[in-house]
Structure 1
Amino acid sequence: MPESRVVLYSRAGCHLCEEARSVVVEECDRAGAGWREVDVDADPQLQARYGEYVPVVEVDGTVQGFWHLDPVRVREALDSQPT
């Protein structure tokens, strides 16, 4: 399995998180990139950091968007070399 270049910060019951997950899956499959999902409500520090901004998506440690995820931005980030 490829290393996780993408992290999706989400929470249960979040319809925007479901939409973001679909974008992440599609773009990571296209790029052959690994991804992982982190439940912000399982960690008080993440909950405080992201609050109501979920979903948040990072590619190679850089935030690419929150709430409504732009697939083109994720694609371009995945097409660039990891730093």
Structure 2
Amino acid sequence: MSRSVEVEVLVKQGCHLCEDAVAVAREVCAEFPVELLEHDITEKPELLSSFAEEIPVLRINGQVKDFWRIDPQRLRRLLREALAGS
């Protein structure tokens, strides 16, 4: 049985790596029944203090899974696992 999966990409304005990561995440997430959220870390002090040096950050259901670059094959695998409940 699949469960709800939330995918977040933490970004910062003007970050070209962030733009690339969001594009990859959008493309891959479109293949799955998941929700993709984008959060600008400069708008949330707790995120800024935790992730200022690692953006973009990929989180699935609140857990950090990747940062700096998002590999589409790895994201697909992570989403299949998350949806399967493993």
TM-score band by shorter chain is: 0.7 to 0.9
Structure 1 residue runs of 4 or more that deviate by more than 3 Å after TM superposition: none
Task: Check whether the contact 1:4–1:34 (CA below 8 A) recurs between aligned residues.
Answer: yes
With structure 1 as the length reference, what TM-score do the two structures score?
Answer: 0.87
Structure 1 spans left out of the alignment, 5+ residues: none
The alignment covers a number of residue pairs equal to 81
Q: CA RMSD in A?
A: 1.5
Q: Which has the higher contact order (CA 8 A, sep 6+)?
A: 2
Matched residue SS, 1:12:
coil
Task: Check whether the contact 1:60–1:82 (CA below 8 A) recurs between aligned residues.
Answer: no
Identity percentage over the alignment? 33
With structure 2 as the length reference, what TM-score do the two structures score?
Answer: 0.84
1:17-73, Cα deviation, whole Å (9 max, x unpaired): 000001110111011311101110011111000012100001122222101111111
Structure 2 spans left out of the alignment, 5+ residues: none
